[in-house]
A and B are shown apart, each in its own frame.
Chain A
């Protein structure tokens, strides 16, 4: 059984292009919602031992403390996460006292589960470091791709493999970011250091999927001497298909296990990895390889 992936390449490329455009538009209109790590600010997770009061009520009580715009959101059983500007230790204690004074009654107690506050000095540092890390990883990955495709192979020049691999990477990362633009807009999901880490991990992971497929294309060109490039590519995809699906599937299994059972703290980090790794496998089959064929055809048309 042989599936004709390349034959349907126009549909696939069009689908990916539309997704890519939607992602870019979402990023432009909604943007990503930066979290405390990058803007500075505080987040306090409290737990009410009995039924939690409405978030509106909590916010109202905290207004006199002048902590600026406070967002409150329920989390799990009796849990509430409050987010606000950077507050110092005195203000932090004031806030806890205020909450306890107002809500603690008999058996109902307010427990502090987690408190994180990031000052402007730290958030600036995290922003620049994230930027450096992204640039460094991108350069390293491009260098790695250049190294992997250094041997020239006909009929497509090695740098073209590299360029296509980078385009596939951008596709994966942009769409993942686009998903988070939607999540940020509709569910208030914030983008923190873990998100950057997820993106970088996707970069490292998805490039190897593409490389495995491309390696097979080159191997087949050498072994079978290329008469029809599209067929060779299709053959290579078919040969590596089971591997791509299985490897991605096992990684996705573990990520799903974490998403459902791993707790709230790393939920969105895992979500970013899930989306990105799925796209990584998808793009090496349905984006990178068809693009290679398209490029080759376009070049040949020009020559004739």
Chain B
């Protein structure tokens, strides 16, 4: 036989097709469960020292019903807002909610506005949030704008009696924590002990379970301790956290967001944020920063920082900021650091704090740990005697603000935010500015200072400007926030869906198990009924499952419980194409055709039926996706991905495999093929 004869070239094609199918299975499989693939790679690397790269560990986008969390829908009351201003007002509210949610520290929150008819709604999704009650409290308040002046009253000291009380309380707490440890050591279930001993609502009510925590979450204070523990380890003795005595149990580990470490030198200037004792004007600061950038090297960076940096927090440690993730630093700073290479010195980068020269020292994937916790709370001085506030209220708030706008200073051309008070506010503002000349007055939004301008002279006309190093965008955001604080746009919670993390994990496990059982039954059925081709279909089904999951992950579709239901159902439907083909094959074999001819005919004639039958399901899916609630979309998206994939695997993969094995048998096939004997007809 010549190598270039058509028969061999077809055979070669089929062989390549088989290799392709296996390769596809391995690739899709690795992409679906990179954790297992990486474990294997690590093993190979350790024993053979080949240095295969690890795969990036991308997780499935799990819906709230599977990872626990809250889905909240707020209705905004825009009745009192002019129609033309409504969209802006709602955007302002959205912005505020987003900031509050970010402060709460859940990973990947979603805050979006939708307009249904004439209603403006805000949808908030908080995946993995454990304390929904607190989250709702934080979101629900209308933004509060306050003006405060410096507090000059001296602080009071603790009395002797109060000190004793404090001490006694903390000794009791320690005893209680030790008792809890004793119970744990005697073999009691952690969840049970947490319910009895833990004093914090979240851990108490969830059997201690906090889900995965990252350095960036609200539990960052526990992170260092947890990172040193082994999986399954329980603290041997209580450790003192900021809240009290903590007993921790560590679960699994997973990859979190990327994080970087950097050192920096800050040169701040007159007018920059938090610049307490400005030495430079903006221009001079830039010249100084340029100069430092030229001098800076990896070796002398810490010394330069100690000598020159105006960032008091990091100056002494040679400008070291430690590790941080996206969202922890101001935007322009963060962008610059993340874009730089490790070891690179960049600068000067301008932010609202001044000019930075940055030395990026490391970059890595952060870890997240699954944690259970029991906390016995202790008290500090601050609990008995609240810390002396630097600022005190003046009575002037967003209530008296009429309007805020973005303006340009006609002299310098810089961007400013102007404020206009109503008549009551005008009088108050006059009094405040009169007694605070040459002193700072702070503007607070939701309890956070957003701007601390110095009063230069008393302001009589109820107009004020906040000047500073604003970009247009920042000024717009600020003005939007101020307007949102000033405008009466109350929000009302009209729908909420909360799912506990344990229930979510439980649903996930159950549905995965159901899927496994389902696919096994289908595989067994196919093999028993259709014999050898059935075995091939069973393999195609595994490939089908891997591919469908891979595509779902690739396009970033959210996997919900209903989505898994759609996927599992599509497993059953996926073999439909194979059934159609094998039934046709059977008929053709019975008509006395050769195995090869029957195979080709079977595939060819089954195609119109396969196409038609899948099309109607796809039509329904498209309609359902358009229907639009998350339950429906989850189901419809995975079902349609499933249907498309099943056509692909049935037509190409099964066909290639059947073609591959056909030449192994004699012309009429044998018992491994259904319909090879005419008697079987009856």
Residues of A within 8 A of B (CB): 1, 45, 49, 88-89, 93, 106-107, 109, 111-122, 125-126, 129-130, 132-133, 136-137, 140-141, 144, 148, 193-194, 197, 200-201, 203-205, 207-209, 211-212, 215, 239-240, 242-243, 246-247, 249-258, 260-263, 265-266, 269-270, 273
In angstroms, how far is the closest chain A Cβ from the Cβ of B179? 15
B561 adjacent to chain A (CB < 8 Å):
yes
Bound form: Cα–Cα A117–B495 in Å: 5
Contact (Cβ within 8 A) A144 B569: no
Q: Contacts A49-B195, A193-B629; is A89 near B521 (CB within 8 Å)?
A: no
Are A204 and B195 neighbours in the complex by a CB distance under 8 Å?
no
Select which of A106, A132, A136, A212 is within 8 A of B612 by beta carbon: A212
Q: Verify A140–B569 contact, CB threshold 8 A.
A: no
Among candidates B517, B522, B623, residue contacting A137 with C-beta atoms closer than 8 Å: B623
Q: Given the known A-B contacts A89-B136, A112-B205, A144-B615, are A122 and B494 also in contact in the complex, defined by CB atoms under 8 Å?
A: yes
Query: Does B665 sit at the interface, judged by CB under 8 A?
Result: no
Interface string of B578-590 (1 = CB under 8 A from A): 0110010011000
Q: Which residue of B140, B500, B573, B628 is within 8 Å of A114 (Cβ)?
A: B500
Q: Do the beta carbons of B518 and A265 come within 8 Å of each other?
A: no
Report yes or no: B518 in contact with A211, Cβ–Cβ below 8 A: no
Name the interface residues of B482-540: CB closer than 8 Å to any CB of A: 492-500, 502-503, 506-507, 510-511, 513-515, 517-519, 521-522, 525-526, 529
A-B pairs with beta carbons under 8 Å apart, 9 shown: A111-B206, A133-B627, A137-B619, A211-B613, A215-B609, A247-B576, A247-B580, A263-B561, A266-B562
Tell me, yes or no, whether B571 is within 8 Å of chain A by CB: yes
By the criterion CB–CB under 8 Å, are B196 and A107 in contact?
yes
Residue among B192, B496, B506 with max Cβ neighbours from chain A (10 Å): B496
* Contact B569–A255 (Cβ < 8 Å): yes
* Partner of B623 from A113, A194, A200, A269 at Cβ < 8 Å: A200
Contact A239–B571 (Cβ < 8 Å):
no
User: Are A258's CB and B627's CB within 8 A?
Assistant: no
B608 touches A215 (CB 8 A): yes
Residue of A nearest to B119 (CB): A121
The reply to whether the CB of B50 lies closer than 8 angstroms to some CB of chain A is no
Known: A208-B614, A247-B573, A266-B511. 17 other contacts (CB 8 A): A109-B204, A112-B500, A119-B494, A120-B494, A144-B615, A197-B636, A201-B635, A208-B616, A208-B617, A243-B579, A247-B580, A255-B518, A257-B515, A263-B507, A263-B510, A263-B511, A265-B561
Q: Complex Cα distance A250/B529, Å?
A: 12
For the complex formed, measure the closest distance between the CB of A212 and the CB atoms of chain B, giving whole angstroms: 5
Which residues does chain A contribute within 8 Å of B639, judged by CB atoms?
Answer: 201
* Shortest Cβ gap from B567 to chain A (Å): 10
* Cβ–Cβ contact A266 & B627, under 8 A: no
Contact assessment for B565 and A270 in the assembled complex, using a CB-CB cutoff below 8 Å: yes
| A252 near B116: Cβ-Cβ < 8 Å | no
Q: Which B174-225 residues have C-beta < 8 A from chain A?
A: 192, 195-196, 204-207
Q: Is the interface of A mostly helix, strand, loop or mixed?
A: helix
CA distance A212 to B610 in the complex (A): 9
B510, B609, B616: most-surrounded residue (chain A CB, <10 A): B616
Judge whether A257 and B205 touch: CB under 8 Å: no
Q: Which residue of B lies closest to A263 (CB)?
A: B510
**Chain A neighbourhood of B195, CB < 8 A:** 49, 107, 109
**A253-B522, A257-B521 as given contacts; A211 in contact with B616, CB under 8 Å:** yes
Contact partner of B497 (CB less than 8 A), chosen from A115, A126, A270, is A115
B-side contacts of A269, CB under 8 Å:
562, 565
**Interface assignment of B330: CB less than 8 Å from any CB of chain A:** no
Q: Which residue of B lies closest to A270 (CB)?
A: B565
Query: What's the minimum C-beta distance from A97 to chain B, rounded to whole angstroms?
Result: 11
User: For the complex, what is the distance from the CA of A270 to the CA of B526, rounded to whole Å?
Assistant: 23
Most buried by B among A194, A252, A260: A194
| A252-B572, A258-B518, A261-B514 known; A136+B496 contact, CB < 8 A | no
B602-628 vs A, Cβ < 8 Å mask (1 yes, 0 no): 000000110011111111110110111
B613 CB contacts on chain A under 8 angstroms: 208-209, 211-212
Report chain B residues within 8 Å CB of A201.
Answer: 617, 620, 624, 635, 639
A249 touching B525, Cβ below 8 Å: yes
Which one of B525, B580, B615 lies within 8 Å of A250 (CB-CB)?
A: B525
Whether a CB of chain A sits under 8 angstroms from the CB of B632 is: yes
Measured in the bound complex, the distance between the Cα atoms of B338 and A79 in whole Å is: 48
Decide if B496 touches A89 in the complex (CB within 8 Å). yes
Segment 98-143 of B: residues with Cβ below 8 Å from A = 116, 119, 132-133, 136, 140
Q: Is B562 a contact of A215 with CB atoms below 8 Å?
A: no
Inter-chain CA distance A201–B628, complex, in Å, is 15
Residues of chain B contacted by A194 (CB below 8 angstroms): 562, 631
Q: How large is the interface on B (under 10, 10 to 19, 20 to 34, 35 or more residues)?
A: 35 or more
Q: Is B160 an interface residue (CB 8 A)?
A: no
A118 to B496, CA, bound (A): 7
Chain A hits for B192, CB < 8 A: 49, 107
A243 and B494 in contact, given A121-B75, A257-B568 (Cβ under 8 angstroms): no
Q: Which of A93, A125, A204, A258 is within 8 Å of B511, CB to CB?
A: A258
Q: In the complex, which residues of chain B have a beta carbon less than 8 angstroms from the beta carbon of A119? A: 73, 75, 494-495
Q: What is the CB-to-nearest-CB distance from B421 to chain A, in angstroms, rounded to a whole number?
A: 33
Residues A203 and B620 in contact, CB atoms below 8 Å apart: yes
A96 to chain B, nearest CB (A): 8
Determine the residue in chain B with the shortest Cβ distance to A36.
B495
Nearest 3 A/B pairs, CB to CB: A204-B620, A119-B494, A208-B613
Cα A252 to Cα B569 with chains together (Å):
8
CB pair B521–A197 under 8 Å, yes or no, is no
CB-defined contacts of A212 to chain B, threshold 8 Å: 580, 609, 612-613
Q: Nearest Cβ distance between residue A285 and chain B, in whole angstroms?
A: 15
Q: Is B681 an interface residue (CB 8 A)?
A: yes
Report how far A172 CA is from B561 CA in the complex, Å.
25
Q: Which residue of A lies closest to B587 (CB)?
A: A239
Determine which of A120, A253, A263 lies in contact with B521 in the assembled complex, contact meaning CB atoms within 8 Å: A253
Give the docked Cα–Cα distance between A258 and B510 (Å). 9
- B621 partner, pick from A113, A204, A207, A263, beta carbons under 8 A: A204
> Is the Cβ of B133 less than 8 Å from the Cβ of A93?
yes
Asked if A258 and B525 make an inter-chain contact with CB atoms under 8 angstroms apart, the answer reads: no
B65 at the interface (CB under 8 A from A): yes
List B contacts of A129 (CB < 8 A). 627-629
In chain B, what residue has the closest Cβ to A43?
B497
For the complex, give the distance between the alpha carbons of A36 and B259 in Å: 43
Q: Output the nearest chain A residue to B511 by Cβ-Cβ distance.
A: A262
Q: Do A197 and B617 touch (CB < 8 A)? A: no
User: Which residues of chain B are within 8 angstroms of A257 by Cβ–Cβ distance?
Assistant: 514-515, 517-518, 521, 568
Q: How far is the CA of A249 from the CA of B576 in the complex (A)?
A: 10
Cβ contact within 8 Å between B514 and A197: no
Docked-complex contact A197 and B632, CB < 8 angstroms: yes
Any A CB within 8 A of the CB of B1: no
CB distance from B55 to the nearest CB of A (A): 30
Q: How far apart are the CA atoms of A201 and B616 in the complex, in Å?
A: 10
Q: Which listed residue, B510, B511, B575, touches A247 by the CB 8 Å rule?
A: B575
Tell me which residues across on chain B come within 8 A of A197, comparing CB atoms: 562, 624, 627, 631-632, 635-636
| Chain B contacts for A113, CB-based, 8 A | 499-500, 502-503
Question: B155 — which chain A residues lie within 8 A by C-beta?
Answer: none
- Tell me, in angstroms, the Cα distance from A265 to B631 when the chains sit together: 12
Which residues in chain B, 254-278, are within 8 Å of chain A measured between CB atoms?
Answer: none
Asked whether, in the complex, the Cβ of A114 is within 8 Å of the Cβ of B498, the reply is: yes
Q: Is there a chain A Cβ closer than 8 Å to B682's Cβ?
A: yes
Chain B residues closer than 8 Å to A109, beta-carbon distance: 195, 204-205
Q: Nearest chain-A residue to B541 (Cβ)? A: A250
